[in-house]
Structure 1
Amino acid sequence: MPDRVNAEIHDVALRTIRAWRRRYQKEGRTRVGGGYPATPCPRCDEADLDEAAYALLLGWYLGDGSIARARRDVFTLQIVNDAWYGDLNQEIAETIKRVKPNASPCLRGGGGAIRVEARWKHWPCVFPQHGPGRKHLRKIELADWQREIVATYPDQLVRGLFHSDGCRFVNWASKPDGRRYYYVRSMFSNESADIRKILTDALDLLGIAWRQPRRNVIAVSRKEAVAVLDGFVGAKS
């Protein structure tokens, strides 16, 4: 709307409205020439952040997410997931909207996979792990403010990690007499030692026993541990 109308609505001096608008435009907080104001950033603007949703989205990002620069210094967050899991793909989109309230995530398909995408100038601010190259070829560590969120919502981080790079299945083993017994097992596979450490630290916070059967795999096999994990992760759908 025109500056004069804006000033009349809010009973503020016209020169004040003009000064605010110019400063916001200079800082990239509104679109020059009109349009909706940009979503404020929890890091740059101290905007409110749904921390539970953020911990969940962080898990998805560390597992199957990436950030790419688009036009006009805007970045695209992309989470890739199997097209078979419709409920989880909708969960990803809703989680993005909880972290960036005015987001309009797009679900794009191809090759049996769904890419859930959303654009924002501040994705690198909220995901400082963003950088060139594959995650397992560079250092991945959480910032202090991220550790505080994960310490409060470790279950949400674990949910995102297991649903991105994990699986849940029925395994079997043999008894001394040759008979088989079956048990549920959850496994997480990721080439990044740093991301595996982020997961195991969260499992430790939750008191969930884990082991590392292979170099790139974290497994949860004990009956009581699987029961706790199933309480907030469960099977994919």
Structure 2
Amino acid sequence: MHSLEKRNTARELFLLGKSKKAIAELLGVSRATVREWCAGDLPSDSPEFRTARCCRCTDPPAPPADEPSYAYLLGQYLGDGHVTVTERVPKLRIACAADYPDIMDEVERAMRAVLARSVFRVKAPGCYQVGSYSKHWPCLFPQVGRGTKHSRRIVLADWQEELVERHPRPLLRGLIHSDGSRSLNTIRTPTATYAYPRYLFANESVDILGICGAALDRIGARWRFNRRNSISVATRADVALLDEFIGPKT
């Protein structure tokens, strides 16, 4: 992380209530440096700061300004995302496969467009955790709760339902980029072998599968359950429809 990125991260974490000592330890700099970087920033309990970045904390609450980016990030969160609320400052993390750097970049852009001024990446086995700290991630993802998503109900809030009705395509793109794939399905018979492309979305949550199915219905794409925990889109016209805004992962 470059010094300017560290400075921006330090200022954001300080505004979100993290102590200068913790920031210094996290970024590997001295507390004096953190004090200098954060001098003059708004206190985290000021009303100007609370409403400066979070559309849900305004009066009245509003949808995110960049609705397509939010719909994409919602799809990623429902698939491979997690909001940690046990730390002093909540943290949104999206697990992104290391093989798909373009998707990592897209997740980072969406986070910045929706809320975050700084985004970090942490390498893990086979993937990167793309994440950001903010007190307001639970405002934007009210599905936060204890345990895994498939062990509890996942229901979109009314404002989220209205947003994904307007933007089902970026939602589906986020879902497929997280827990989905586009691949060739090979069929072998005694006389011939042929293959055709299909999209799959696999998730253990019945509710999240329902959100995916509803979004496919909104764009007129036919789908079916090929397994109890997997949705398949396989007809030529419907695959071509998804190819218009998803395509192979990169």
Work out whether the TM-score is over 0.5. Answer: yes
State which of 73, 90, 95 in structure 2 corresponds to 1:57.
73
1:66 equivalenced with 2:79 (yes/no)? no
Q: Which amino acid aligns with 1:184?
A: P
- Report the Cα distance in structure 1 between the residues aligned to 2:215 and 2:76, rounded to whole angstroms: 14
Q: 1:204/1:63 Cα in 2 relative to 1: closer, same or farther (>3 Å)?
A: same
Report the CA distance between 1:178 and its aligned residue. Answer: 2.0
Structure 1 residue 108: deviation in Å?
1.1
- Are residue 118 (structure 1) and residue 136 (structure 2) matched? no
Give 1:125's aligned amino acid: C
Q: Is the 8 A contact 1:103 1:119 kept in 2?
A: no
CA apart distance, 1:174: 4.2
Corresponding residue of 1:178: 191
Question: 1: distance between equivalents of 2:157 and 2:81?
Answer: 18
Q: Partner of 2:21 in structure 1? A: none
Distance in 2 (CA, whole Å) between partners of 1:55 and 1:98 is 11
Matched, 1:219 2:232: yes
Q: Quick check: 1:169 aligned with 2:187?
A: no
Please report how far the alpha carbon of residue 107 of structure 1 lies from its aligned counterpart in structure 2 after TM superposition. Answer: 1.1
Separation of aligned partners in 2, 1:185 and 1:25: 48
Q: Following superposition of structure 1 onto structure 2, how do residues 23-42 of structure 1 map, counting pairs within 5 Å?
A: 26-27=45-46, 29-30=48-49, 39-42=52-55
- Is the partner of 2:145 in helix, strand or coil? coil
Instruction: Give the whole-Å Cα distance in 2 for the aligned partners of 1:128 and 1:148.
Output: 15
Larger Rg: 1
1:4-23 equivalence runs, <5 A = none
Question: Is the contact made by 1:29 and 1:40 (CA closer than 8 Å) also made in structure 2?
Answer: no
TM-score, normalized by length of structure 1? 0.81
Matched, 1:229 2:216: no
Please list the CA deviations of residues 132-167 of structure 1 after superposition, one character each: whole Å capped at 9, or x if unmatched: 100000000111100111001000000000010011
Q: What are the Cα deviations for residues 10-57 of structure 1, in whole angstroms up to 9, with x where unaligned?
A: xxxxxxxxxxxxxx8645643xxxxxx874311111465211110000
Question: Contact 2:121 / 2:131 at 8 angstroms: preserved in 1?
Answer: yes
- Judge conservation of contact 2:51–2:57 (CA < 8 Å) in 1: no
Partners of 1:116 and 1:38 in 2: CA distance: 24
What is the percent sequence identity of the aligned residues? 43
Compute the displacement of 1:168 (Å): 1.1
Are 2:83 and 2:91, in contact at CA under 8 Å, matched by a contact in 1? yes
Q: What CA distance in whole angstroms lies between the structure 1 residues aligned with 2:44 and 2:194?
A: 65
Once the two structures are superposed, residues 190-209 of structure 1 have per-residue CA deviations (whole angstroms, 9 ceiling, x without a partner) of: 00000000000000000001
Offset at residue 122 of structure 1 (A):
0.8
Q: Per-residue CA shift, 1:75-99, capped at 9, x if unaligned?
A: 1000001111111101100010010
Structure 2 match to 1:87: 102
In the alignment, residue 136 of structure 1 is paired with which amino acid?
Answer: H
Provide structure 2 residue ranges, at least 5 long, that are not aligned to the other structure: 1-42
Aligned-residue Cα RMSD (Å) equals 2.0
TM-score by length of 2: 0.77
Q: In structure 2, how many angstroms separate the alpha carbons of the residues matched to 1:124 and 1:209?
A: 33
Q: Which consecutive residues of structure 1, in runs of 5 or more, have no partner in the other structure?
A: 1-23, 31-36
Is the CA contact 1:70–1:76 (under 8 Å) kept in the aligned structure 2? no
Deviation at 1:173, TM superposition (A): 2.1
Residue of structure 1 in register with 2:30 after alignment: none
Q: Distance in 1 between matches of 2:80 and 2:93?
A: 8
Q: Does 1:139 align with 2:153?
A: yes
